[in-house]
Amino acid sequence: MSANSRLTIAAHALAWIGLYQRQGHEVATSEQIAASASTNPVVIRRLLGDLRQAGLVESRRGVGAGWSLARDLESMTLLDVYEAVEPGPLFALHRAAPDPGCVVGHGIQPAMQRIYDVIEETLRRELARVTLKDVLQDVLAVPR
């Protein structure tokens, strides 16, 4: 599957900002986060832009600008992040509509869609069980 790293990078960014603020800083810049995540600042700004729309972070502009958490890490779950940065569904149906004249072609899409809906709901439940505070805690618990 063409898995992407958006959820990983977004979680990285949130954990980074959270830790940075815990150390007494007001805001974090996209450049700092990008350096830690080994990517481009624009990638971070785009992701954090999505997270801001979801109400997870805030940004300041001008000199001394940067990003800060809009809520406590404890109140954010991976589901919040997932919904903010992953638009599409997990599994796709057919690219072109299957033959409606065939019994299987006719019934397969509603049948699979119902299955996929159940599976995505389960995925959501799992994602909702992990808070970003948990993530940061796990990160800090990794031995050097």
Among the listed residues 61, 54, 56, 65, the one whose alpha carbon sits nearest the alpha carbon of residue 28: 65
Among the listed residues 93, 88, 84, the one whose alpha carbon sits nearest the alpha carbon of residue 114: 93
Interface stretch with a copy of itself, choices 50-58, 66-74, 84-92 (CB under 8 A): 84-92
Task: Give the footprint of DNA on residues 19-38 (CB under 7 A).
Answer: 29-31, 38
What dihedral do alpha carbons 91, 77, 58, 136 form, nearest 10°? -110
CB count within 10 Å of CB 44 equals 26
Positions that interact with DNA (CB under 7 A): 1-2, 4-6, 9, 29-31, 38-43, 45-46, 48-49, 52, 59-67, 86-88, 92, 95-96
Positions that interact with a copy of itself (CB under 8 A): 1-5, 7-9, 11-12, 15-16, 19, 35-39, 78, 86-99, 102-108, 110-112, 114-115, 118-119, 122-123, 126-127, 130, 135-136, 138-142, 144
